[in-house]
């Protein structure tokens, strides 16, 4: 497997190859972060969730990843269950080719993956239950009682198994960021105390993976957890997650990232004061800032639904040429966001998004003014 990981020197070197993007503010260093504070992050990252699990989509994804890396997008996001492990393998193949050709160096690219949901291997098997029994239950990787909703597991043994598979799929000795994927999925089946125990044990497994050099940092990738009120079943307190990380790894723990949807359609990370921190209710962005947690936005185009028919008032205030570009400009300009992820299954998607990166993010006052529209 390819050795190394993203570094300050590498990401800076990468950014300096794109003078126009760098001048426009596409690459930023976030000194306030507790993890990866020395890396130069792009404001736009490539996501790999959507698409069919077939050879044609594999080919298009690999072309898109190569196009992204050649044009100024060096944040790649995936998960082991995306397209039945194919998306991880697409990143591994594309990155491997460019590194072998000398076009890219490993230390220039931030690679992120996730584990938690059960994942098939390349395609849905004829007997899914038999597959999971053979692959996981019989070898003792998890018990049926470890599952939540018959689809989610975050025991240490399972996460360790998935991490090894992710490293092989990606061809990387070290993954830069490894997320626990939608842990709130467990809350339907567990008491709050049971959940805290499982989350702490998962964080202990992640700290062990950091110590062994298999990952650099870890985090939580969520859908509802940090956006909804605490009265809802899927709610998670970021403060409690930080306490679990401190229990697992002490004050110098490696819990440094949170991923959640952020878009014109889902702006709660900024707009909803649902997180209780220091005896006051504030937004997720505010709590994350207090703890130096990097926030990565997903679903920037709301799975394509924001790519058309935006209100004229929004179009005029944001500018840009297309609604897709406007939605992406909104997400990447959020003051509390490190980067906005966009699914890019075609090279044409990459090139359209690069046009956004060539424009400076919106000024904070102008961006916040959108919430009065």
Give residue 115's pLDDT: 98
| 301-318 mean pLDDT | 91
pLDDT surpassing 90 at residue 372? no
From the CB of residue 214, how many other CB atoms can be counted at a distance below 10 Å?
19
Task: State the Cα–Cα distance between residues 259 and 126, nearest whole angstrom.
Answer: 33
**pTM of the model as a whole:** 0.96
| 141-158 mean pLDDT | 94
Helices 55-71 and 347-357, packing angle to 10 deg: 30
Give residue 351's pLDDT: 96
Q: Hunting for tokens 């972060």 — which residue is that?
A: 33
Task: State the Cα–Cα distance between residues 293 and 312, nearest whole angstrom.
Answer: 35
How does pLDDT run across 207-263, given as a tens digit for each residue?
A: 999 999 999 999 999 999 999 999 999 999 999 999 999 999 999 999 999 999 999
| 290-299 mean pLDDT | 97
**Residue 247 vs residues 198, 203, 238, 291: alpha-carbon distances, Å:** 12, 9, 14, 15
Phi/psi of residue 28, nearest 5 degrees: -140, 145
Give residue 312's pLDDT: 93
pLDDT surpassing 80 at residue 373? no
- Which structure tokens are listed for 168? 């092989």
pLDDT surpassing 80 at residue 272? yes
The domains found in the chain, sorted by start residue, are 8-294 (3.20.20.100)
* pLDDT band at 9; cut points 50, 70, 90: very high
Task: State the Cα–Cα distance between residues 350 and 343, nearest whole angstrom.
Answer: 9
- Which structure tokens are listed for 257? 């990232």
Q: Under 8 Å CB-to-CB from 324, ≥6 apart: which residues?
A: 301, 306, 307, 308, 352
Beta strands in 68-123 (DSSP E): 75-77, 110-115
Radius of gyration in angstroms for the set of CA atoms belonging to the chain, rounded to a whole number: 20
3-state secondary structure (DSSP) of residue 296: strand
Phi/psi of residue 57, nearest 5 degrees: -65, -35
How does pLDDT run across 60-70, given as a tens digit for each residue?
A: 999 999 999 99
pLDDT surpassing 90 at residue 303? no
**If you average pLDDT over every residue of the chain, what do you get?**
96
Beta strands in the chain (DSSP E): 27-29, 40-42, 44-47, 75-77, 110-115, 175-181, 215-221, 255-261, 275-277, 280-282, 294-298, 339-343
How does pLDDT run across 111-121, given as a tens digit for each residue?
A: 999 999 999 99
* pLDDT band at 152; cut points 50, 70, 90: very high
| 264-283 mean pLDDT | 96
């Amino acid at each position: 497997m390819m050795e190394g990981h993203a570094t300050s020197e590498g990401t800076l070197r990468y950014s300096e190859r794109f003078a126009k993007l760098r001048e426009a503010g596409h690459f930023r260093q976030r000194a306030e972060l507790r993890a990866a504070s020395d890396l130069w992050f792009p404001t736009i990252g490539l996501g790999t969730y959507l698409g069919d699990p077939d050879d044609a989509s594999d080919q298009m994804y690999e072309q898109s990843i190569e196009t992204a890396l050649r044009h100024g997008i060096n944040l790649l996001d995936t998960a082991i269950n995306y397209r039945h492990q194919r998306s991880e393998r697409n990143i591994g193949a594309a990155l491997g080719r460019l590194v072998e050709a000398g076009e890219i160096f490993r230390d220039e690219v931030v690679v992120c993956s996730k584990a938690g949901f059960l994942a098939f291997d390349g395609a849905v098997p004829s007997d899914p239950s038999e597959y999971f029994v053979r692959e996981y239950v019989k070898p003792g990787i998890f018990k049926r009682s470890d599952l939540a909703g018959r689809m989610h597991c975050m025991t240490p043994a399972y996460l360790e198994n998935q991490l090894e598979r992710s490293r092989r799929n990606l061809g990387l000795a070290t993954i830069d960021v490894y997320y626990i994927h939608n842990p709130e999925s467990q809350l339907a089946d567990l008491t709050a105390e049971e959940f805290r125990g499982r989350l702490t044990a998962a964080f202990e497994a992640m700290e062990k993976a950091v110590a062994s050099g298999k990952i650099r940092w870890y985090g939580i990738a969520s859908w509802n957890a940090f956006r909804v009120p605490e009265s809802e079943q899927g709610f998670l307190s970021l403060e409690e997650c930080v306490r679990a990380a401190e229990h697992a790894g002490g004050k110098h723990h490696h819990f440094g990232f949170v991923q959640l949807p952020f878009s014109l359609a889902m702006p709660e990370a900024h707009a909803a004061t649902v997180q209780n921190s220091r005896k006051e209710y504030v937004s997720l962005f505010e709590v994350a800032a207090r703890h130096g947690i990097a926030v990565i936005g997903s679903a920037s185009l709301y799975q394509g639904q924001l790519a058309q028919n935006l209100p004229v008032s929004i179009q005029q205030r944001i500018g840009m040429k297309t609604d897709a570009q406007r939605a992406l400009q909104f997400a990447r300009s959020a003051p509390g966001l490190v980067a906005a992820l966009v699914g890019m299954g075609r090279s044409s998607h990459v090139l359209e998004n690069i046009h956004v990166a060539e424009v400076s993010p919106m000024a904070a006052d102008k961006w916040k003014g959108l919430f009065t529209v």
